[in-house]
Structure 1
Amino acid sequence: MTRTIGNPLSWMADAAFGVGRTAGEATEALRGTVTAPPDVRHLTIQDLRVALRKGVDDFTSLRSDVIFLIAIYPIIGIALALVAFHMARLPMLFPLAAGFTLLGPVVATGLYEMSRQREAGGQAGWGAAFSVMTAPVIVPVLVLGLVLMGLFIAWMFAASLIYNVTLGPQPPASVSGFIGEVLTTAPGWAMTVLGMGVGAVFAGAVLVLSLISFPMLIDRRAGVTVAVLTSVKVARENPRIVATWGLLVAVAMVLGTLPAFLGLVIILPVLGHATWHLYRAAVPAEA
């Protein structure tokens, strides 16, 4: 049949139909096909060791692909540090570096897919990491990522407020002077204690919400609500193990910032792959 040029009304109808179909698919992806959180397993320290060992194994087997995938991470970290060293923004350097890790689960989404495909016996390369961008799971992943971004912004606001009520609101005169105030004055210690306490609350919230949810969105069409509830369920059933994992991640990420955030090239992919295997240990596979 000869194809003719449509009129503007037909173009508008086709466009509207396409937008409606896309919106419907997005809504279905957010809702998912799983109606309730699945059963979760009791985790042990041995599960953490196994997850880390498998994470290292994934990293060493896919090293070139993984490094290429996260090369932008240390670049962004260096850029944040350079911006923060403007005297007026110097007090926000540590909150930026610490808050940067709140977005790690979103960045690691591609790593989860690489581990999933390697586990299934497929060819896992950088193409596998970016394949999730076109899969139905990208919509709930982006929505959950926006939640983490909201927590990141809230953390930066809280950190700024803590500085203003302790050492601020005036910007420090120099780097050495600022470090001296932080380490040797009562307001400096108050800022440190308050900052670490409030930061721990934000980090704990992100850990509970994202530990299992992002891998679960990659693994099955669970929807945002069920994935988050499953992550909370794992944390509730295994508080000591999840807290230990959070401490390991925090220490590793601090080490990863040295030197000049370049350590994240190794730390981030290992933790990303290990998180996938921790998800496998916590949530039984579908029948």
Structure 2
Amino acid sequence: MSNFHVMTGSAGILERPDIRRISVDDVFDALRAGIEDFRQQPSHYAFVCLVYPIAGAIMIAWSAGVELLPMVYPLMSGFALLGPLLAVGLMEISRRRERGEDSSWSHVIALRKSPALPSLLMMSLYLLMLFVVWLIAAQALYVHFIGDYPAPGFMGFARGVLSHPNAMGLIVWGNLIGFALALIALVISIVAFPLLLDRDAGAATAVHTSVRVSMLNPVPVAVWGLIVAASLAVGMATMMVGLVVIMPILGHATWYLYRKLVVSSPR
């Protein structure tokens, strides 16, 4: 147990990986590389790609009760906060493919034995905490602006809320808070998960490096965030079905974006 570590690597120090300044073209290069990985090895994605739409469908079904209808939109939109967590396996496949190694699903399963697993779990906890904060904030906003609104089913609920005199306040404040939380998630995790796959550096190093990368490359990082947001919106507009394609592409592209932003581990 002496080697158990979470916030830093096994050496017990906060590493400072070298980072690069990139252009918007590099962001689209990473996206194209993600598309190519998806095209080359689509058979590996059945499990991870289905988790996203199935989990969304379960959440929607769970929220089908009238008293829980206000949480449908926050639950669906909040998925964006969990994207990097759900895409870890896809990043590992791209990492192995880039190195010319076997990229079968068994190697993704083997991540449970990785020395960086505690750090990966800590990063996952950070994103889950943001997700919970978003749900609490969304519920509080709904109660503040709309109150206890009874509705006969989903369509009746939607019409009632949108025609409510305080609807604009709910929409504006809800989206502002959601944007702020999504921005935090982007800044602290843009390279965090692929970095931990690349090197056992610890969660603190992963977050610190992500923040450094975001400060050095604000425009490319913003463009990447817009690409992710737009892609997930399209996926949700298709009742989650589109996420079967969108999710793996973004997951693979995240690895290649990391490779452009951070100098890889020498080992």
- TM-score by shorter chain over 0.5: yes
Corresponding residue SS for 1:71: helix
Q: Distance in 1 between matches of 2:25 and 2:85?
A: 26
Q: Distance in 1 between matches of 2:187 and 2:148?
A: 33
Query: Residue 248 of structure 1 is aligned with which of 227, 237, 242?
Result: 227
Q: Is the contact between residue 55 and residue 273 of structure 1 (CA under 8 Å) also seen in structure 2?
A: yes
Corresponding residue SS for 2:3: helix
Give the TM-score, by structure 2 length.
0.94
Stretch moving more, 254-263 or 85-94: 254-263
- Give yes or no for the alignment of 1:31 onto 2:5: no
Q: Deviations over 1:125-155 (max 9, x none)?
A: 2112222121111110001111111111111
Unaligned runs of 5+ in 1: 1-20
Map 1:81-230; keep pairs closer than 5 Å: 81-230=60-209
Could you say which residue in structure 2 is the equivalent of 1:74? 53
* Aligned-residue offset at 1:259: 2.6
Structure 2 letter corresponding to 1:274: A
Q: Deviations over 1:154-182 (max 9, x none)?
A: 11000000000011233434323322234
Q: Distance in 2 between matches of 1:120 and 1:188?
A: 52
Could you say which residue in structure 1 is the equivalent of 2:240? 261
In angstroms, what is the RMSD of aligned CA positions? Answer: 1.5
Unaligned runs of 5+ in 2: none
Give the TM-score, by structure 1 length.
0.88
Q: Distance in 1 between matches of 2:79 and 2:189?
A: 15
Instruction: Report the structure number with the largest CA radius of gyration.
Output: 1
Go from structure 1 to structure 2 and tell me whether the alpha carbon gap of 1:245 and 1:222 turns closer, same or farther (over 3 Å shift).
same
Q: Distance in 1 between matches of 2:14 and 2:144?
A: 46
* Aligned-residue offset at 1:189: 1.5
Structure 2 letter corresponding to 1:124: S
Matched-pair identity in %: 38
Bigger RCO of structures 1 and 2 (CA < 8 A, at least 6 apart):
2
- Give yes or no for the alignment of 1:276 onto 2:266: no
